[in-house]
Amino acid sequence: MNTAMKYEPTGPVHGKILVIDDNPVIQRAVYLMFRDRGYKILMSGDIADALSVVRYERPNLILMDINFAAENSLPGADDGFSATEWLHQIPDAEKLPVVIISSSDPEEVEARALAAGAVGVLQKPFDSEELFALVKKYIPTRSRRLADNLGDALKLVTTC
């Protein structure tokens, strides 16, 4: 089993991204893209470790590879699709957004990913701007969350 790694941002934390991929190049690439953007990066190359990270760290977004070596998988969760299904059975993680990252045929992967409960697919090698757009979509910034909460509060006040 691999030990999950954590990289803390130097400033305020906007959210947590868990990268589940047994390729250290992909892990490093995501870390480098986000190290100065205020996101805590959690990494695991092992499905069992990743399930523990989800329980204890409560990430806001998961980037999930689909192919894992046998020693990095679990019975019943031997690829990213089945691991996504398992993740969504963890209490409080049912709606956790999972984006499948893959170098396989995008159309085939997308159908299986959506059926497993993923919110989308990111094709490897991925474009950093495409990844940033996904993160912004699924991890709103603190100011956007505050604005949304304020908007909800104003609606409530005006209907009373």
Taking all residues of the chain, what is their mean pLDDT, rounded to a whole number?
80
Strand-pair partners of 8? none
pLDDT at 53 over 60: yes
Can you tell me the mean pLDDT for 115-129? 89
* 57-79 pLDDT, tens digit each: 899 999 999 988 777 767 667 78
pLDDT of residue 97: 95
Q: How far apart are CA 112 and CA 132, in angstroms?
A: 23
Q: Between these two residues, 101 and 35, which has the higher pLDDT value?
A: 101
Maximum CA extent, the chain: 58
* 70-120 pLDDT, tens digit each: 777 676 677 889 889 988 888 888 889 999 998 888 888 999 999 999 998
pLDDT of residue 62: 94
Closest CA to 37 of 108, 141, 160: 141
pLDDT of residue 98: 95
pLDDT of residue 151: 47
The distance from CA 95 to its chain's CA centroid, rounded to whole angstroms, is: 11
pLDDT of residue 18: 93
pLDDT at 146 over 50: no
- Supply the DSSP symbol for 71: G
The distance from CA 138 to its chain's CA centroid, rounded to whole angstroms, is: 9
Q: How far apart are CA 127 and CA 109, in angstroms?
A: 18
Q: Between these two residues, 7 and 5, which has the higher pLDDT value?
A: 5
Helix axes 47-57, 80-87, angle to 10 degrees: 30
Can you tell me the mean pLDDT for 36-40? 84
Can you tell me the mean pLDDT for 7-18? 76
145-149 LR contacts (CB < 8 Å, sep 24+): none
- CATH number given to 5-159: 3.40.50.2300
Q: Which of 5-9, 11-15, 19-23 is predicted with the least confidence, judged by mean pLDDT?
A: 5-9
Q: Please, what's the b/e burial string for 104-121 (b: 16 or more CB within 10 A of its CB; e: otherwise)?
A: eeeeebbebbeebbbbeb
